[in-house]
A and B are shown apart, each in its own frame.
Chain A
Amino acid sequence: MGVLADDEHHPGTLPVQRMGPGHHAFLCYDDDAPGWDVLAAFVWSGLARGEKVIVFGPPRLTETQVRSRLQGAHALLAASGYERAQLELSSMRELILPDRRFTADRQWQRIVEESGAARAEGYTGLRTYIDMGWVADLGADLDMMMDRERRAGHLFADGFYSEVCAYDRRSFPEPVLRAMGRAHPENLLPRLGHLRCRHGAGTLHVIGEADLATHGQFTRALAALLRGPEPPAGPRTVDLLRTGFLGAESATELVLLLGRAPAHRPVRIRCSERHAHLLCRLGADPAALDVTVAG
């Protein structure tokens, strides 16, 4: 995926594995990163969490073509007990029926209805993947679409509903994509297996997946943290709260880093319980970990 000019520093950048109830995320795709692995992971994770999942795929594709991109969903559906009703493929055209003209109010009304139905059926949440190709398909006005995106916060307020808005980079002007990236509280990394290391004020934010394929990038970022200037206050920190996967090799590097840091310049790790458990297995001192339950 081509990188948008200003999305590198969006404060809500996260991997799709970190998507949770209440999130409203922006995803931009193109030929380089068509986004199918992100969509599949979004669907698989939702099914595993017991959420109702509705995919509004690109209008140019048939339902069969979209379903073929979700390899693996059938195995999860079989295991979930809800079977096929848990995953629906639909379109914006179908969602707003009997209306034919898109309005934000009509779409919101239908999403609220779908949320209510999902709740009544015992699902733990409702998540939707919306390919924004519906804008051209329905002949909708871009300004109206952008207004909808900016004012949709109420849908997510109770933490039951989550939504990915997927923009085909080739179909929207760059200023619209930038504005929409900023309008969403969350921005998804463009593909699985991607790692973005961001430095700031003595903290290294590890966003994405620290696995064998990204191990070199990860170790260079750790070295840069140690070499970098002293933070204005407090110790140097490695923040794993937006890390989608921490592999054995990278976890070991973190444990080594804790031991390597000089006593007068300690390093702390901010992480979830899952990552803390793994790091302690590898010998990390629990006192060096700041564990966030919700992380």
Chain B
Amino acid sequence: MTVESAGGPPGIGEELLLRRRFGGADIPRLRVLVESCAALSGLPEPRRGEFVVAMDAVAGNVVQHAGGHGLLELTRTGKELECRITDRGPGFSEDVIPDLAPGLDGASRGRGLWLTRLITDRFAVVSGPAGSTVTFAMSLR
């Protein structure tokens, strides 16, 4: 897990809390760090736990399907805690995420992303030739 930077405002009203490159072995540490930042940002339970589950699911998707490595950026605004995870994989669109609970109706692919979209307040996937960026956020209010 490589330290890129921490602290400092990347934009007006925003504070970059974490910026980390990661591979599969880094995800357990990343979970603890993201949870700690979420606690200090005022995200209450049980949403804090869900935020970490969402982060783990998206990062795990990068490790399994998008080249094994990614970049996580955690940002706090006045209203939200936002997590952005970027990879250099083949790219995908939100259309591949099933509408029904996957695995509960037979399929197993996409459970994590399905759950992330369900439990977060904002969720978006942007893909291009260089890879994908999944962004999700939860309200701090």
Q: Do the beta carbons of A76 and B29 come within 8 Å of each other?
A: no
Bound-complex Cα distance A18 to B43 (A): 19
B138 within 8 A of A: no
Chain A neighbourhood of B126, CB < 8 A: none
> Are A48 and B35 in contact, with the CB atoms below 8 A?
yes
Complex interface: chain A residues within 8 A of B37 (CB): 48, 75-76, 79
B89 to chain A, nearest CB (A): 16
Residues of A within 8 Å of B116, CB to CB, are 248
Contact A278 B49 (CB under 8 A): yes
Quick one: given A76-B37, A80-B40, A245-B31, are A212 and B60 in contact (CB under 8 Å)? yes
Q: Are A75's CB and B53's CB within 8 A?
A: no
In the bound complex, residues from chain B placing their C-beta under 8 Å from that of A40 are: 29, 32
Selected from A37, A78, A213, the residue in CB contact (under 8 A) with B29 is A37
User: Which of B32, B101, B104, B118 makes the CB contact (< 8 A) with A41?
Assistant: B32
Contact B104 A252 (CB under 8 A): yes
For residue B77, CB closer than 8 A to chain A, the reply is: no
The size bracket of the interface on B is 35 or more
Known A-B contacts A17-B32, A49-B39, A278-B50; the reply to A247 vs B6 at CB < 8 A is no
CB of A209 within 8 Å of the partner chain: yes
Find chain A residues with CB under 8 A from B41 CB.
79
The distance in angstroms between the C-alpha atoms of A22 and B73, with both chains bound, is 34
A76→B31 contact, CB < 8 A: no
Tell me whether A45 is interfacial, beta carbon within 8 Å.
yes
Count of A interface residues, CB-CB < 8 Å:
40
B23 to chain A, nearest CB (A): 11
Task: State whether B33 touches A44 (Cβ < 8 A).
Answer: yes
Is the pair B53, A48 in contact by a Cβ cutoff of 8 Å?
no
Is residue B119 within 8 Å, beta carbon to beta carbon, of the partner chain?
yes
Which residues of the partner chain B approach A44 to less than 8 Å between Cβ atoms? 32-33, 36
| Pair A211/B17 contact, Cβ less than 8 Å | no
| B-facing residues in A169-187 (Cβ within 8 Å) | none
Asked whether A281 is an interface residue with its Cβ less than 8 Å from the other chain, the reply is yes
Q: A211-B27, A213-B24, A248-B115 are in contact. Are A78 and B7 (CB under 8 A)?
A: yes
A274 to B39, CA, bound (A): 14
Q: Is A47 an interface residue (CB 8 A)?
A: yes
Q: Is the CB of B29 within 8 A of A281?
A: no
- Complex Cα spacing A62 to B1, Å: 22
Question: Besides the contacts A192-B29, A245-B28, A248-B53, what 11 more A-B pairs have beta carbons closer than 8 Å?
Answer: A45-B35, A47-B40, A48-B39, A75-B17, A192-B32, A245-B56, A247-B53, A247-B57, A252-B103, A256-B104, A281-B119
Q: Which 8 A-B pairs have the closest CB atoms?
A: A75-B6, A193-B28, A48-B36, A192-B28, A277-B46, A274-B49, A48-B39, A79-B40
Interface residues of A (CB under 8 A from B): 17, 37, 40-41, 44-45, 47-49, 71-72, 74-76, 78-80, 192-193, 209, 211-213, 245-249, 251-252, 255-256, 273-275, 277-278, 281-283
Q: What are 21 contact pairs spanning A and B, CB under 8 A?
A: A37-B28, A37-B29, A40-B29, A41-B32, A45-B35, A45-B36, A75-B18, A75-B37, A76-B33, A192-B29, A212-B27, A245-B52, A248-B115, A248-B116, A249-B103, A251-B53, A255-B104, A273-B46, A277-B50, A282-B115, A283-B101
